[in-house]
Homo-oligomer: A and B are copies of this chain.
């Protein structure tokens, strides 16, 4: 029961010159489902990524970091669902490397030019033989318009595939950005992981691409939360093929960079918000805007403190304008010198709290009207600066407990 989330229409997804995608049924954990995706990148593509900070990061994440650190061209991505290859020790690392070798052989590129991604059950070993056996079929299926099928192939507990395209004009050329993602937080049992893959045909310098992936991740995938758990496999990868033929975008200060960043950010925000809309048991989509902070980081802390409070999330589920719980979460964000007298709180358009207490004009009816819809905006003003941050989250329902408690029983 995703919140206002329709599946993408294949005809709305635009190909990216230099990127081909193919899927196959490898039978990693379940039969009769496409659980393997290979993405082939033409020569010249640049890649930058951000990965989970969980110390139990999965073997494929370690291998991705290693291959990216080597600085060589990336020519392929390989993604499997079913098993996360996390909590698998040395054997897991060997399995991730073997996967890269198999894809490299099939595509005629080095193993070091392949980035592996896994999502699924933690602490079980990847059946490399079955995965390898599926690679030829995935490679044979490679096609430029494979985005919709790719979005479906990387789903685990997602109920809706997540994919979107946007275009922008840069230097007189139309550039295209297309991305796919799968859910996290909505981590079922051991079904870990948020994965996001976004590609553009724009030409972008390596340093600019690295800046861009962090900028975008911080304002999209790192700004959404379902239940506060960072998985062992979270990865967000940005590919720039350069096929659009624009003069390479090199620096943060330029108009071209800004235009591309806006376009990539829009794609990443649609995808990351889709993850929240499809959060386990979600019935509400909540936008938390924190303004007036001394730093963006402290605004994020306040937003996440609200987004992670089970008391706040159950109140959203109940459509209950429970101001005390929200203010309590603001007070718990760890801003040691926050002055509650300066804090303002809006539910929707209504000013509900100020000067350390309830706003004089606030009525319960206003609060109830703001909490009733499936999409709710909460605005917190910290009154201590000009910085801002937005966090997106969902509510906490009976179904969240049901989904996560019933899985293995």
Contact = CB atoms under 8 A, between A and B. Distances in A.
Contacts of A57: 331
A374 to B, nearest CB: 16
Name the residue among A230, A314, A329, A358 with the largest chain B CB count within 10 angstroms.
Answer: A314
A92 interface: yes
A317 interface: yes
Contacts of A190: 322, 324-325
A388 interface: no
Contacts of A254: none
A187 B327 CA distance: 14
Interface residues of A, number: 69
A86 interface: yes
Given A87-B357, A332-B229, A406-B318, A192 B401 contact: no
A290 B104 CA distance: 43
Contacts of A324: 84, 86-87, 121-123, 189-190, 192, 232
B87 A314 contact: no
A15 interface: no
B87 A327 contact: yes
A111 interface: no
29 contacts: A55-B336, A55-B340, A56-B328, A56-B331, A87-B324, A87-B327, A87-B353, A87-B356, A90-B356, A91-B357, A122-B325, A123-B323, A123-B357, A189-B315, A190-B322, A227-B311, A229-B328, A230-B328, A230-B331, A232-B328, A310-B310, A311-B404, A314-B404, A315-B405, A317-B405, A320-B409, A322-B408, A397-B401, A401-B401
Interface in A197-243: 227-232
B320 A408 contact: yes
A336 B335 CA distance: 22
A154 to B, nearest CB: 19
Interface in A347-406: 353, 355-358, 396-398, 400-402, 404-406
Nearest to A323: B123
Contact of A409 (B55, B84, B318, B408): B318
A119 to B, nearest CB: 12
Given A87-B323, A318-B409, A231 B192 contact: no
B402 A56 contact: no
B227 A341 contact: no
A96 B319 CA distance: 32
Contacts of A91: 357
Interface string A98-127: 000000000000000000000001110000
Nearest to A191: B324
A338 interface: yes
Nearest to A226: B310
Among A54, A90, A192, A311, the one with the most B-chain Cβ atoms within 10 Å of its Cβ is: A311
Contacts of A353: 87, 123
Given A54-B332, A230-B328, A400-B401, 6 more contacts: A89-B357, A123-B357, A187-B311, A190-B325, A314-B404, A320-B407
